[in-house]
Amino acid sequence: MFRIAGNAVTRPLSARVMQGAAGRYTRYPNKLHARGILTLKDHLYFSKATASGAGRNGNVTSTGDAPLDLKLAMPKVAGGKGDGQNPEQLFAMGYSACFLGALQLQGARAGKKEMTDKAKVHATVFLGHPMDPDLEGFGLRVELTVEGVPDDALIQAAHDFCPYSRALKHGIDVKITKA
């Protein structure tokens, strides 16, 4: 389940594939398992962002506690100028921070707080073409590397708890409306 390299533990999440708006599926050798959608009974916090301009070469702003305004740009390797951030960077930043928070919470609950205090979580988000020839466009693959925590059970507990991991594992409720 986990690959260990030196003092880092890697948990690849590369087997997940989004299959249209109808649901979430995970590919395992010779099997295709349907996934349900995780729904919320309430919400404790919400974040709001607005994209404008030329899409991936436009602008994105977030309002709230600490407003953020970023210029977006396609990476050079994807044919863009590379002079701004891209959604994959933002997703990697959010996922790594969220997973680290989940890891530290699970460490504290397990009486292993000192083990997770100096941990680092590295997220690599890959943008590419889906293996399924029937899916147009692009897909994502995520690899998380947990540094400084040798406890597989603790890492799994964080993966089970982290909202980003849950969204990728169980699906996410998405509603699209017109303004």
Could you read off the pLDDT of 151-176 as tens digits, one per residue?
999 999 999 999 999 999 999 999 99
119-131 as b/e: b if 16+ CB within 10 A: bebebebeeeebe
Nearest to 146 by CA among 6, 9, 4: 9
Residue 23 pLDDT greater than 60, yes or no: no
CB 149 within 8 A of CB 119: yes
pLDDT of residue 35: 63
H/E run at residue 97: helix 87-109
The full set of domains in the chain, from first to last, is 3-44+86-170 (3.30.300.20)
The crossing angle, in degrees rounded to 10, of helices 152-161 and 163-170 is 70
Integer Cα distance of 73 and 149 in angstroms = 35
Nearest to 156 by CA among 141, 167, 170, 144: 144
Q: What is the pTM of this model?
A: 0.78
pLDDT of residue 36: 78
Tally of residues, the chain: 179
CB 163 within 8 A of CB 39: no
pLDDT of residue 164: 97
Integer Cα distance of 70 and 86 in angstroms = 9
pLDDT of residue 24: 37
Specify the range with the lowest mean pLDDT, choosing from 29-33, 65-69, 154-158: 29-33
Residue 6 pLDDT greater than 50, yes or no: no
pLDDT-derived band at 78, boundaries 50, 70, 90: confident
Could you read off the pLDDT of 102-143 as tens digits, one per residue?
999 999 999 999 999 999 999 999 999 999 999 999 999 999
